[in-house]
Amino acid sequence: MFDIDYGSLWGRGIRGLIFDLDNTLCPWRAPALDEATVRLLEGLRARGFRLCVLSNGRLEGRGKVVEDLSRRGIPLIYPAGKPLPFAFNRARECLGLSPSEIAVIGDQLLTDILGGNIVGFHTILVEPLDPHEHPWTRFVARSLERLLGRRVRRRSAPAGGDRGYPGGHRPPGSRRDRRG
Ligand SMILES: [Mg+2]
């Protein structure tokens, strides 16, 4: 999330950013946002971005995270039921922007990215901040992501890198090349 080129998003007409919470803005179940994240959010807003946070969590016992966002006037919608479109549409209304002006930033292909694509927003998959995740995510969603092809998450992967597809010739060890 820190290494996204927000200037280039702005240049491409993105005016609203919808962040996932757990493992995108903070480690899973973190009680508060850290200083650097708060500075990033404030900096983005100072640049003119409108911000919103969508979490599938129930956020029990995480009043500080809720407060960190609400004190800064950043809408937080939870539990969001991603990838269903309802919360994404609510977020769009909060932002007051059209789908082509909104980017979703999250660590999960099957919630953040799938949901964002369903409603026609731009989507940016980031590496999860922390190896700890909800057990459902860890064992079910991540296995499905691997089946679907984790390589879509490599924003920084060289374009046209020909790693081959299942059934093709694969360089030795490439099945195990994913980080984390
Ligand atoms: Mg997440």
Domain positions in the chain: 6-156+167-176
In the reported structure, the alpha carbon of residue 135 is separated from the centroid of ligand 1 by a whole-number distance in angstroms of: 12
In the reported structure, the alpha carbon of residue 168 is separated from the centroid of ligand 1 by a whole-number distance in angstroms of: 32
Give me the tens of pLDDT residue by residue for the chain, a chain 180 residues long.
899 999 999 999 999 999 999 999 999 889 999 999 999 999 999 999 999 999 999 999 999 999 999 999 999 999 999 999 999 999 999 999 999 999 999 999 999 999 999 999 999 999 998 777 776 677 677 777 777 765 555 544 444 333 333 333 444 444 444 443
CA distance 158 to 105: 21
Contact criterion met (CB below 8 Å) for 21 and 134: no
Residue 172: predicted pLDDT: 43
In the reported structure, the alpha carbon of residue 32 is separated from the centroid of ligand 1 by a whole-number distance in angstroms of: 15
Residue 178: predicted pLDDT: 42
Please, what sign has the CA dihedral across residues 45, 104, 107, 75?
Answer: positive
In the reported structure, the alpha carbon of residue 136 is separated from the centroid of ligand 1 by a whole-number distance in angstroms of: 12
In the reported structure, the alpha carbon of residue 169 is separated from the centroid of ligand 1 by a whole-number distance in angstroms of: 33
Q: Spell out which residues have Cβ within 5 A of ligand 1, the ion.
A: 20, 22-23, 107
In the reported structure, the alpha carbon of residue 173 is separated from the centroid of ligand 1 by a whole-number distance in angstroms of: 28
CA distance 59 to 79: 8
- Is the whole-model pTM more than 0.95? no
CATH for 6-156+167-176, options being 3.40.50.1000, 2.60.40.10, 3.40.50.720, 3.40.718.10: 3.40.50.1000
Residue 45: predicted pLDDT: 96
Task: Mark 46-81 as b/e (b = at least 16 C-beta within 10 Å).
Answer: eeebbbbbbbbbebeebeebbebbeeeebbbbbebe
In the reported structure, the alpha carbon of residue 121 is separated from the centroid of ligand 1 by a whole-number distance in angstroms of: 17
Residue 146: predicted pLDDT: 77
Residue 173: predicted pLDDT: 41
Residue 130: predicted pLDDT: 79
In the reported structure, the alpha carbon of residue 21 is separated from the centroid of ligand 1 by a whole-number distance in angstroms of: 6
In the reported structure, the alpha carbon of residue 20 is separated from the centroid of ligand 1 by a whole-number distance in angstroms of: 6
In the reported structure, the alpha carbon of residue 24 is separated from the centroid of ligand 1 by a whole-number distance in angstroms of: 5
In the reported structure, the alpha carbon of residue 160 is separated from the centroid of ligand 1 by a whole-number distance in angstroms of: 28
In the reported structure, the alpha carbon of residue 23 is separated from the centroid of ligand 1 by a whole-number distance in angstroms of: 5
